[in-house]
Structure 1
Amino acid sequence: MKDTERYPITPDFDGWPVTVPPVAARPEDGALAVEWADGQVSRYHPFFLAENDPSPDTLHPLSRETTLSPLDLPEDLAAVSADIEPDGTIAVQWSHGRAASRFHPGWLRGNGWFGGEPESAAEVLWTAAEQPEPPTFDGPEALRDPALFLAWLTALRDYGVARLENLPSEDGLLIRIAERVGPVRESNFGRMYTLEIKDDPDSNAFTSAALMQHIDMPTRECPHGLQFLFCRGNTTSGGEGIYADAYRIAADLAAEEPRHFEALCDIRWTYNNRSKTSSYKATGPVIERSRTGRITGIRYNTWLRAPLVAPLAEQDRAYRSYRAFTARAQDAKCQMKFAYKPGDLLAFDNRRALHGRNGYDARGGTRFIEGLYSDRDDLHSAIRSLERSLSKGKTS
């Protein structure tokens, strides 16, 4: 059904294609039951429906946000009848004299519960053999073509790291690209930073030394979700980037060393930055999980751990599990290694993709790499917004 304008509005600006039409609708103990053409049945609570009613008395037609308080609804509100209109719109009649509601069938289907957890984008877990280099896209072309830019963002979401190449060395270009994804999130290193050798470094990153695999900002309550590194010039020797998929490392630990995996999920480490001008401190487990057990984030940085204040047995469990994680993170089998070339822009999920580098020799050469941070929810918003706009372009 291409003509979606005939349907009621929805509490968002997304497109809801009607891929499976409704064939029956009826009240069930005050709720709404909808049977679909594929034989599945979904049920909707009366409060769920009333709070998402597309009527202008409930849903602001411009902001698409509800104007209704939960206390505005009768506690025993119930659907008393339901019908399917010729175009598939589902109409519901209410108790208590509440005005009838009409719902977009694609939206109802997309927000129906059919058993199990809602589907989410599946990460592509990888080792060095499976992913020797980041998914790579031509930078100038991606900036011109929204579909290719979307492909880069999708690869970043799925693999945790993705690269644009052949970009010109332009002042401000990194910020312009990052802001197409979302707002830049500042840090104690500023809105943007340059990876340069400092006489008085406030991070190991501002030296020429090798860096072990790590995430940045474990010292923050919510570590920055995305990091962008833009190589504008590099004539030094060494300094290759080293990346590892911490979700794959965690999954392998869960399968092969479950006691260490559980310790990394349970024991909370504290991390603090080492600086003369700031003092950030945050606590969390190395491996974060959702309530369903899905791995959702990593907090791992060997040189920013604060002392672990705990009983001796807990310390032993904590340190042994941390060593097990480090052994895998530093294993060449897990490490994607590549040189930073001028024109490369690396974007990676800072709470998934561990990053490090080989040491480099700056004598007789220059190394100009800019960096900044943003957040993962900006990435997901940008993907959904681009998908929506490209989908509308195809159907208009």
Structure 2
Amino acid sequence: MHKYLILFFLLMSCSSGDDTNELIIENDETEIVIQEPFKKIVFDNYNSDTFIFGATLNYYQLNTNVEQLFLDEFNYTTPENSFKQTIVHPEPGVWDWTRVDAFLDFASKNNIKMRVHGPIGPQSSTWAKEDSRNAEELSSLYQDYMKELCKKINNNSNVLWMDVVNETILSNGQWTDKKDGTNLWENPWTQIGKNADGIPLYIVKAFEIAKQYAPNISLVFNQHAGMQPEMWDKVKETILYLKSKGLKVDGLGWQGHLRDNVILSLNKEKIDYLLSIIDWAHQNDLDFHVTEIDYRLVGNNPSANAYLRQANGYSNILKALISRRGNGVVTYNTWGVYDKNDPSSHEFKYIYDSNLKPKKAVEILKNTLKDKNTSPVYFD
């Protein structure tokens, strides 16, 4: 039986691009397999200004072994929800910058590139979702929040990107909207109204504020869901409209929350459509960001084949970015690092298991990066 000894050693600080932190695996037949960290593979093989690879941390993972795993492997992060309105400015007179400051300090201390995920969109505070709110109240609150957030990050050299709006359009091409009550996924900001061209005012105003108060930050229009043409047509129309009005839109983001029982990243037609979106972004002077990606497995005790599908689901999206890296900026950010201790509620969806051990996805992603592989593996 093989015995494995895993040794981590750090020869240079993570602020150096020449980081030689390595994972060494020895077995009793004296075979040695060296797995370099993601950040070193990217540094050695790609232009670090135009190809960026990282992972998400949440506030409660700072100063833990999860943070250490992150620092061993990555140098780009997106704080999970710590910059959102519901955390920072949930209601009038209430401000809390604790999580924001913690992440800014973390990025500065460790020379981490950061994308701020603090967009105006459906994930808003209970106060904002209360049915008694009116347009004036909502407009005042989110504008105050956006202005202060932009001023907070504008001169921070570690913050390179910011999601300005998020999840604004449904998969059928309709605007996300208000719902009754406070316990549903909804977008209360649409109550502020639309302009004469039919564009929600909160979207226009958010980009106006970001342009004025965060001119040093690359501004992203972020979107969720899958490869639905009706939705992406509306996204494209909205971005072109904003740019035509002189507003600053620098990037298009996609949240790729994949599921093994929903056809997408293992299907040629879907990957081809994703490639067309990336091409459109670059043709319109936009960076393209995979702002969030995870791959949920269905059921308990996934098989080896399920983990193989997951690994290729992750890597097929990465291959799409690698194939288009010569046309413009592309970034890839896994939404989370490891499966939590209750796998039934987390669906085994991240690239490290609940013990922080690499899953098949880590191996295939690293090999994809090393080989600059652009040939997808299709199962669906």
Report the TM-score, using the length of structure 2 for normalisation: 0.21
Identify, as 1 or 2, the structure richer in strand.
Answer: 1
Choose between structure 1 and 2: higher helix proportion. 2
| Larger relative contact order (CA 8 Å, sep ≥ 6) | 1
* Structure whose CA Rg is larger: 1
Q: TM-score of the superposition, structure 1-length normalised?
A: 0.21
